[in-house]
Amino acid sequence: MITDAISERLLEGEKLLWCGRPQQGLLFTSRDALLIPFSLLWGGFALFWETMVLSLGAPMLFRFWGVPFVLIGLYIIAGRFILDAWVRSRTAYAVTNRRILIVRSGVFGNVTSLSLDRLPNIQLKERGDRRGTIRFGGLGMGYAGWGWGIWTPTLDPTPQFLAIEEAQRVYEEIEHASRNAA
């Protein structure tokens, strides 16, 4: 999947320097230290509200009022992890001698291409197991605007290689390739 998804997007004369995928399965990030307790409080209160409204026989408006909050609670407690794992399973990354490629297939499919000679600020955040995330650009709407990216890292609008193996080595490869492209 990786080679096919990337190779069909290579330009004439472009050479593949590295390709990989994000970590598969369940992925916790540092922001989950705050998001998990918040999601449990939100979901718990929404379920409490809906249970009380239904058991007390409240008017129909009150019964339906809590449903969206329960659904949001279910998403932020568990659904976001499922969606994130699903999107990551359909994602491939590449570094070529000319650009950075991020290829996603499926419902959230898109191709992101960043020219090596015009790369924005590059940030490396590495864990102890040598996995890490390389972000291409500053903090995006996923952080500042509380958009999808805050809950589902793969949907963060800032391009990134999320939870890749040997992140430091890939970072150095990008630095080297970008110096040669300039």
Note the pLDDT tens digit of each residue in 91-131: 999 999 999 999 999 888 899 999 999 888 899 999 888 89
Taking a C-beta distance cutoff of 8 angstroms, is the pair 121, 50 a contact?
Answer: no
Other C-beta atoms closer than 10 Å to the C-beta of 29 total 14
By percentage, how much of the chain surpasses pLDDT 90? 66
Q: How many whole angstroms separate alpha carbon 150 and alpha carbon 15?
A: 34
Rg of the chain over all Cα atoms, to the nearest angstrom: 20
Burial class of 153 by CB neighbour count within 10 A (0 to 12, 13 to 18, 19+): buried
Taking a C-beta distance cutoff of 8 angstroms, is the pair 160, 135 a contact?
Answer: yes
So what's the pLDDT on residue 2?
Answer: 61
Q: What is the dihedral of CA 10, 13, 18, 19, to 10 degrees?
A: 20
The answer, yes or no, to whether residue 139 has pLDDT greater than 90, is: no
At residue 144 the predicted structure's pLDDT band, cuts being 50, 70 and 90, is very low
Other C-beta atoms closer than 10 Å to the C-beta of 58 total 13
The answer, yes or no, to whether residue 39 has pLDDT greater than 50, is: yes
The answer, yes or no, to whether residue 140 has pLDDT greater than 60, is: no
At residue 141 the predicted structure's pLDDT band, cuts being 50, 70 and 90, is very low
